[in-house]
Structure 1
Amino acid sequence: MNVSLQNIDKVSAELTVKLEKADYQEKVDKELKSLRQKAQIPGFRKGMVPTSLIKKMYGKSVIAEVVNKALQEAVYNYIKENKVNMLGEPLPNEEKQQNIDFDTMDEFDFVFDIALAPEFKAEVSAKDKVDYYTIEVSEEMIDNQVKMYTQRTGKYDKVDAYEDNDMLKGLLAQLDEEGNTKEGGIQVEGAVMMPSYMKNDDQKAIFANTKVNDVLVFNPNVAYDGNATELGSLLKIDKEIAKDVKSDFSFQVEEVTRFVPGELTQEVFDQAFGEGVVKTEEEFRAKIKEEIAARFVADSDYKFLIDIRKVMMDKVGKLEFSDALLKRIMLMNNEEKGEEYVAENYDKSIEELTWHLIKEQLVESNDIKVEQEDVLKMAKDTTKAQFAQYGMLSVPEDVLDNYAQEMLKKKETINNLVSRVVEVKLAAALKAQVTLENKNVSIEEFNKMFE
């Protein structure tokens, strides 16, 4: 077997593989022998079918299979051993590749076109200035987090007069055109409403400062802007019928209920961050601020990588690629979408490929490696962040570990976690090498950068 590579230009080459009979015949004979031992053909005992018949029946397909496998191994090993920086995959040369006939040929020449990665150097230094945005943790964010904890230990109290967000309970009765209770009309005992959720402000205002035993007149259809689902739920009838009910209703208030948040106690502190970690409201708020700020670091690093991508793309400049070969590869991978898709998306794919190559160099030059412990930690951090969205800032380690182990059962999830680990490590390495232009921004300002 002979494998050789000839450069056509800086970004393309021809890979030639010559296979002689001696390179594959032993494996062919071995496979045919195996087939002879297993073959069950009428008129012959198992294992006693003549070799000539086995060759006639299976010889061509066995040779094709063995040759193709040997070819794949030869190409793979040559590229690996010679560290050929290939893009995509080898493509059969459209001009030099001979037609293969396994019936008449026993020596084969395969010629492949190979797209090579352009040579360039991706480096960062203190001369590179990159914006780094630190998201400020506002008092409102802290207040909202505190509120989540106090609501968990809150309770509902009965009160005399209605205020916004209170819940009303009472008798709901349909009225006729004269404003009297409609005979045979809709009546709902123990109807529950929260006027603050009504869509119409005028209807909502009817309930302001109402007290127990008050009787009010309002129009549910107007109040809820004709929403069939909400009307059906309130009137306890099918929503398709409810949407056509447009009469006024009386509502006799029987009960006004108000949610009262719980107190910030040591029990709440311990539930949030573990026993004895914080002991005062001031420490509690400071710890919440610290946790929120830590979660924002990932967002800041993500924006940093976007910005340093632009810096590096500008530094490296436009790279030379074998456009014809890469378009062939792109078309092969998107055959059902056709040449028009390739034409429309090629420039964007080259941009992404350029960043991929730059990123690969930066990862290699910074000796970034991903260990199993890194992936497990990322899985736990991801799980922890998901719990934090629901106000659970302190999750037991065994719970995090169980969730993480479930995530690691899926190959796609593992690949995503590995990519995130690489990005986290790369961001940390590059932040230490470039000059950071630190800027504090609000979460609103930060989010606008992605619009």
Structure 2
Amino acid sequence: MNISLQNVDKVSALLTVQIEKADYQERVDKTLKTIRQRANMPGFRKGMVPMGLIKRQYGTSVLVEEVDKLMQEKVGEYIRDNKVNMLGTPLPKESNANFETDENFEFSFDIALAPEFELELSNADTVDYYDIEVTDAMVDQQVKMYTQRTAKYDKVEEYQENDMLKGLLAELDENGNTKEGGVQVEGAVMMPTYMKNDDQKAIFNGAKVNTVLVFNPSVAFDNNDAELASLLKLKKEEVAEHKGNFSFQIEEITRMIPGDLTQELFDQVLGEGKAHNEEEFRAQIKEAIAKQFESDSDYKFLLDVRTYTMGKVGKLEFADGLMKRIMLENNKEKGEEFVNENYEKSLEELTWHLIKEKLVAANNIKVEQADINNMAKEATRAQFAQYGMINVPDELLENYSKEMLKKRESVEALVNRVIESKLAEAMKTQVTLNHKAISVEDFNKMFQ
């Protein structure tokens, strides 16, 4: 077998494969023998069908299959061994091979080559890095959430914001009387704080137990069918028939009293001995929030590195004809119109992919199994942190991360996250960072 590669231009090449009978004959004979051993034909015992008959019936199809398998195997080896920087897959050119009569075959493939380019980064290159500010209000909110876990609930006589009300809800007619056959809900529970309409919310200010108030649930909750259906105990499609006023007789007012900031709470949230007073507790909470923000900042930093490096490299040359054929091959069901509409965007993504590969290679970034395992734990830890769970036992993290590693898609995503994490760290030491303090609100606006 002979395989050769001839460059057509800087970004495309012609790969030629010449296959002789000696290259494939042993494979073909072995497959035909296997078929003979298993063949069941009338008039012959199993395994005793004459080889000549087997060859006449199966010879051509076996030859086609074995030549194709051999060619794919050897072409793959050639591309790997010769480090051909190919994009996509080889595109077969039309062949005049006749498998009925020929013994030697020649096949040709169009190859799209990755464009060559240079890219070096140093402290002469400046990229923005956004430091998201952790405010006292954020820390207050997080601390409040923790104290609410140990809260107690008291029955009170007068309503204040965030209190929960329980009572009799009754639909009224146009004259303000209880509507005959109307909706009535005993033990209806609601929190006026979550009403969307301020005027309706104000009706409950200072209300006391046994007070009867009149309000409009539809207006109060801005015609949200799901919320109204839950409150009125109706199906969502029935809500539209009950848009009028309701009376609400308050039977009970419940107030949540947050728990105290105790050593027990500090240990429960952070781990034993990590904080000994409120000041230390708040400092640890602030640090945890900052850690969560750091990954967001790194993500934005890599996006800015992408924009910066793509501008520095400029527009790369691609074999457009071949690239469109490859794209069409991968999106047959979507057709040429899809390819034409999305081609430039796909080149943009491909350009960044090639740049990222070069940066990864230049920084000798490798992904080990331990990196994947650690990233799975960090991803799990981050998920728990979203719910305010900072002190998660290692055993629990281990169990959750093991489940994540069982899914191939999850592993692929974790590998990519490891690469991007290591790349961000490497880039932060190579380029000059233009640090910019920013609020979380303004930071999030950049992604809208």
Alignment TM-score, normalising by the size of structure 1? 0.94
- Give, as a single letter, the amino acid of the residue that structure 2 aligns with 1:75: V
* C-alpha distance 9-261 of structure 1, shift in aligned 2 (>3 A): same
Task: Give me the identity figure in percent.
Answer: 67
- Give, as a single letter, the amino acid of the residue that structure 2 aligns with 1:48: M
Answering whether residue 62 of structure 2 is matched by residue 62 of structure 1, we say: yes
Measured against aligned partners, the alpha-carbon deviations of 1:302-347 in whole angstroms (never above 9, x if no partner) come to 1111111122112212222111111111111112222222222111
Matched residue, 1:73: 73
Q: 1:390 aligns with which of 381, 387, 390?
A: 387
- Rounded to whole Å, the distance in 2 between the matches of 1:418 and 1:267 is 39
Q: 1:162 aligns with which of 154, 159, 164?
A: 159
The offset of 1:235, in angstroms, is: 4.2
Matched residue, 1:82: 82
Answering whether residue 348 of structure 2 is matched by residue 351 of structure 1, we say: yes
Matched residue, 2:26: 26
- Rounded to whole Å, the distance in 1 between the matches of 2:137 and 2:296 is 19
Identify the range of structure 1 (294-303 vs 376-385) with the bigger mean alpha-carbon deviation: 294-303
- Give, as a single letter, the amino acid of the residue that structure 2 aligns with 1:82: N
Residues 231 and 243 in structure 1, CA contact (< 8 A), matched pair in contact too = no
* Counterparts of residues 366-377 of structure 1 (less than 5 Å): 366-377=363-374
* C-alpha distance 157-367 of structure 1, shift in aligned 2 (>3 A): same
* C-alpha distance 177-355 of structure 1, shift in aligned 2 (>3 A): closer
- Rounded to whole Å, the distance in 1 between the matches of 2:90 and 2:411 is 28
Answering whether residue 375 of structure 2 is matched by residue 378 of structure 1, we say: yes
Residues 227 and 243 in structure 1, CA contact (< 8 A), matched pair in contact too = no
* C-alpha distance 55-261 of structure 1, shift in aligned 2 (>3 A): same
* Counterparts of residues 394-409 of structure 1 (less than 5 Å): 394-409=391-406
* Counterparts of residues 104-143 of structure 1 (less than 5 Å): 104-143=101-140
* Counterparts of residues 8-407 of structure 1 (less than 5 Å): 8-93=8-93, 97-175=94-172, 179-181=176-178, 186-236=183-233, 240-241=237-238, 243-245=240-242, 248-407=245-404
* C-alpha distance 235-322 of structure 1, shift in aligned 2 (>3 A): closer
- Rounded to whole Å, the distance in 1 between the matches of 2:442 and 2:222 is 34
Q: 1:412 aligns with which of 391, 409, 416?
A: 409
DSSP 3-state at the match of 1:157? strand
RMSD: 1.9
- Rounded to whole Å, the distance in 1 between the matches of 2:373 and 2:168 is 57
The offset of 1:123, in angstroms, is: 1.4
DSSP 3-state at the match of 1:119? coil
- Give, as a single letter, the amino acid of the residue that structure 2 aligns with 1:374: D
* C-alpha distance 188-406 of structure 1, shift in aligned 2 (>3 A): closer
DSSP 3-state at the match of 2:241? coil
The offset of 1:163, in angstroms, is: 1.1
DSSP 3-state at the match of 1:328? helix
The offset of 1:226, in angstroms, is: 4.8
DSSP 3-state at the match of 1:217? strand
The offset of 1:81, in angstroms, is: 1.1
Residues 232 and 243 in structure 1, CA contact (< 8 A), matched pair in contact too = no
Measured against aligned partners, the alpha-carbon deviations of 1:190-236 in whole angstroms (never above 9, x if no partner) come to 33332223344333322211122333333444444555544444444
Matched residue, 2:424: 427
The offset of 1:449, in angstroms, is: 1.8
The offset of 1:34, in angstroms, is: 1.6
* C-alpha distance 280-323 of structure 1, shift in aligned 2 (>3 A): same
- Give, as a single letter, the amino acid of the residue that structure 1 aligns with 2:306: R
Measured against aligned partners, the alpha-carbon deviations of 1:342-388 in whole angstroms (never above 9, x if no partner) come to 22211111111111111111111111000000000000000000000
Unaligned runs of 5+ in 2: none
Alignment TM-score, normalising by the size of structure 2? 0.95
DSSP 3-state at the match of 1:382? helix
The offset of 1:49, in angstroms, is: 0.8
